[in-house]
Amino acid sequence: MTEERIDGSGGAGEAIELLRELIREGCVNDGTPSSGQEIRNVRVLQRFLADAIALGRIETQVLESAPGRASLVARVRGTDPDAPALGLLGHLDVVPVDPDGWTRNPFGGELIDGEVWGRGAVDMLYLTAAFACVLREVALAPRPPRGDLVLLAVADEEAGSDLGMHWLVREHPEAVRVTEALSESGGMRMGRHVAIEVAEKGSAGRRLVVRGKPGHASIPFGATSAAYRMGEVLQRLEAVMPAAQLGELWNAFVDARIDDSELAERLRDPVRLDAALPQLGGIAGYAHAVSRITISPTVVRAGAAHNVIPGSASIDLDIRTLPGTSDEEVDELIAAVLGPLADEVEIRRLRGWAATGSRSDTPLFAAIKRAIAEVADAPTVPIMAAGGSDARVLRELGIPAYGFGLLAPGWSYERYREGVHGNDERIDLTSIELSMAALRSIVSERIG
């Protein structure tokens, strides 16, 4: 395979080249304060927008929450103060890679067989590039838009947004002021439908601490290893699954994705749902995740020296919650799962946030539906995301925010999930072109 040249078909040539540049900067966020260094991708965007900035068509601010942890806010002012201020929310950081799992350079940004390869190609640099391109087009148009168009190209999404959107809305609320927004986690195909994220689960991390009686490992009699207790807790967590709780988006997902009427009927029944999951193939993991609270042990700790029987052990749990779930309900659920072990386990609360959602009857969502119908001749289905994104920060402020995109017909939800944080991440040019076309339509309707 040899690297290709692009011809800019579909009006997406600039977005494709910009995506490749963003990938090459390798703004890897491993969760430590000094990682990410998103200032490099901020500089890429500043260079791309330089002509419109020089003409005074775009107002920009570079805001650093810590050295190198920079976000770019670029605003095109509208003429009507009562018109919407549409935010295009994209992040600049990417997750780490395992180079041994890649068949090409994960930070090469290579264009091979109609696909751009590299970490962040899907999550979500292709959209950040598309957002920047449409912003520039609007800025350089013969007449200004009615409403503001705002690019929020932010840091630290991959590590929870403390140095990105959370910091921005706290420290610079006026700079990031929007009335509605588009972000990531949309555009994948659910049967004939295009999925648009309107909600996402919450997070309620917990640490379970169990106690034993320490002693010298050479004389174990009389000691009680906390590692054994930890094993009992882990077995209980594996054996007990939280029950299904089918929310308002569940039927829409089943209608869009499941053609077999008998299977669809079983999936709508909380009692029969779990037995039907194995028939769903690659979408089963998503169906399981969005139909209940999930509990995943992720970090276990016990002991510090090989010759000391540990007197304490801990298990960290990644818990993803449904809308309306309180911290008290999470603790009650854990106690119920632990059953007879509950009195022996201390539950400590870790960082978390509530599930968030936006209504699907807003003018912005209507514009999304019309754009997708126009560009792809496809209906739209609102979905809940199992993971998290920066959109929740805006939703917490009461601002409608949707996971956007319009991927090519071959991009099922399963393919999308394989690309996000996976090896050999890449995005095809058709998906970039379709997303650009739909985005232009939405922007024109909302603030044009």
Total number of domains constituting the chain:
2
Report pLDDT for 3: 54
- Report if residue 332 sits inside a domain: yes
Of 306, 327, 353, which residue sits at a domain end? 353
340 and 289 co-located in one domain: yes
78 and 129 co-located in one domain: yes
265 and 412 co-located in one domain: no
- Report if residue 302 sits inside a domain: yes
411 and 300 co-located in one domain: no
Report pLDDT for 162: 96
Dihedral angle computed from the Cα positions of residues 152, 153, 159 and 161, in that order, rounded to the nearest 10 degrees:
-20
Tokens of 60: 């920009």
CA distance 276 to 266: 7
219 and 272 co-located in one domain: yes
Tokens of 284: 């089963």
Bond from prior residue into 124 cis (ω within 30 degrees of 0): yes
Report pLDDT for 8: 45
389 and 429 co-located in one domain: yes
Give residue-wise pLDDT tens across range 217-257: 999 999 999 999 999 999 999 998 899 999 889 999 999 99
- Report if residue 346 sits inside a domain: yes
CATH number at residue 227: 3.30.70.360
**Whole-Å CA distances, 274 to 290, 413, 417:** 12, 20, 21
- Report if residue 2 sits inside a domain: no
336 and 364 co-located in one domain: no
Q: Is the pTM of this model over 0.95?
A: no
Report pLDDT for 378: 98
- Report if residue 208 sits inside a domain: yes
> HSE on the CB side for 51, CA within 13 Å?
10
Helix (H) or strand (E) holding 385: strand 380-385
Of 309, 332, 353, which residue sits at a domain end? 353
Report pLDDT for 426: 97
Dihedral angle computed from the Cα positions of residues 291, 405, 396 and 159, in that order, rounded to the nearest 10 degrees:
90
366 and 420 co-located in one domain: yes
- Report if residue 28 sits inside a domain: yes
> What range does the domain containing 50 cover?
9-199+359-447
CATH number at residue 112: 3.40.630.10
Token pair 């854990």 is found at: 334
Of 353, 386, 421, which residue sits at a domain end? 353
332 and 239 co-located in one domain: yes
- Report if residue 1 sits inside a domain: no
- Report if residue 3 sits inside a domain: no
Low-confidence ranges of the chain (pLDDT < 70): 1-10
CA distance 32 to 13: 35
Q: How far apart are the first and last CA of the chain?
A: 42
192 and 80 co-located in one domain: yes
Instruction: Break the chain down into helix, strand, coil percent, rounded to 5.
Output: 40, 25, 35
- Cβ-based neighbour number of residue 320 at 10 Å: 24
308 and 400 co-located in one domain: no
Token pair 């009507």 is found at: 80
39 and 67 co-located in one domain: yes
Tokens of 306: 């090989």
